[in-house]
Amino acid sequence: MLDANFWQDKTNSKIVVKEKKLFEDLVISFEESKKKLRELDEYKQLAIEENNQDLINEIYENIKTLKSKVRKNEIKCFLSNEADSLDCYVEIHAGAGGTESQDWADMLRRMYLRWSDGKKFKTRLISEHKGDEAGIKSSTIKVEGDFVFGLLKKESGIHRLVRISPFDSGGRRHTSFASIWVYPAVDENINIEILDKDLRIDTYRSSGAGGQHVNTTDSAVRITHIPSKIVVQCQNERSQHKNKDTCMNMLRARLYNFEIKKKEKENENNEAIKSDIGWGHQIRSYVLQPYRLVKDNRTNFESSSPEKVLDGEIDDFLEQSLYQIK
């Protein structure tokens, strides 16, 4: 940062400054935690000598608070990969099963939106395909905030729901599946080579909300990257030009994420994950009937409060996933 030309490269300087602040905050918090722990230890010795049970109870409560603070800093230490500090896109796709799975996909989208709201993160709808009767067939949202991709990157996979169907007049139990796909958001400053000959660009009429909001022009854009078979689409803007720009940013992000996976030697067949949304592939199960439980199949972490999880309280699951990173 002391280099005379450091601030000339705005993209690199922004990244470095952000990393510097992260490390500074970690060091300061670590020193404060050590100081607080020493103080609590001294108070504990005093409380034991005076046999002051009220003070001992207060000290234990302070230790719990300190432990929570240390845990949050520990999580930050896992967010040191190149893309962890970036914003991200979250794609949600309903599995086979029609209305059941489409409603489940909509529930998952709400869960991530509620989680984002709780974190004060910004969200933006990129594209959406409504279900035939309820829910959504697919949706893409962009989430903007500190270390969003690092926090959500392990959410990619198949999510399974077991419940008494509100769409079944017989009140039978149904199992539904939906896939989540999370990848980092990059911009034009990231050097990802994309050749025009490798692209197929389609335009179509996006679905509006009705009345004056109906989109009457073919402004929605779908881009297929032929070599990788990656498909991105955007319909949230009325301008075809803006939708195309958003699609290109999403495509760069997808290709960038692919390169990250190669560097990390994570041999995941992402397209297979997205196309086979069903039994044997789920990373997490949400059971509402006959008992109530959310279980992550990778970490074995469980919650007996699925209503809270579906309302956006997923931090414990995200943290446990980060601990599993090797």
Q: For 170-229, write each residue's pLDDT tens digit.
A: 888 999 999 999 999 986 556 678 899 999 999 887 664 444 444 445 788 999 999 989
Q: Is residue 40 part of a domain?
A: yes
179 - beta bridge partners?
93, 158
Please check whether residues 235 and 267 belong to one and the same domain: yes
Q: Is residue 83 part of a domain?
A: no
Q: What percent of the chain has pLDDT over 90?
A: 56
Q: Give 240: exposed, middle or buried? Use CB within 10 Å, 0-12, 13-18, 19+.
A: middle
How far is the C-alpha of 243 from the C-alpha of 224, rounded, in Å?
14
Please check whether residues 97 and 59 belong to one and the same domain: no
Please check whether residues 243 and 145 belong to one and the same domain: yes
Instruction: Please write the tens of the pLDDT for every residue from 30-84.
Output: 999 999 999 999 999 999 999 999 999 999 999 999 998 898 888 888 887 778 8
Please check whether residues 60 and 101 belong to one and the same domain: no
Cα-Cα-Cα-Cα torsion 231, 142, 109, 178, nearest 10 degrees, comes to 30
Query: Of 20, 54, 77, which residue sits at a domain end?
Result: 77
How far is the C-alpha of 48 from the C-alpha of 95, rounded, in Å?
60
Amino acid at 222: R
Please check whether residues 73 and 154 belong to one and the same domain: no
Q: Which residue has the tokens 């800093």?
A: 73
Tell me if the bond preceding 184 is cis, omega within 30° of 0: no
Query: Of 77, 100, 122, which residue sits at a domain end?
Result: 77
Backbone angles phi, psi at 221, to 5 degrees: -125, 135
Task: Say how many domains are in the chain.
Answer: 2
Please check whether residues 123 and 72 belong to one and the same domain: no
The model carries a pTM of 0.74
Q: Provide the domain limits for residue 57.
A: 6-77
Please check whether residues 249 and 200 belong to one and the same domain: yes
**The two three-digit tokens of residue 17, written as one number:** 């400054």
Q: Which CATH number does the domain housing residue 139 bear?
A: 3.30.70.1660
How far is the C-alpha of 121 from the C-alpha of 90, rounded, in Å?
13
Please check whether residues 137 and 209 belong to one and the same domain: yes
Query: Of 77, 109, 129, which residue sits at a domain end?
Result: 77
Please check whether residues 318 and 172 belong to one and the same domain: yes
Please check whether residues 133 and 177 belong to one and the same domain: yes
Report which secondary-structure segment, H or E, holds 322: helix 315-323
Least confident of 18-22, 33-37, 121-125: 18-22
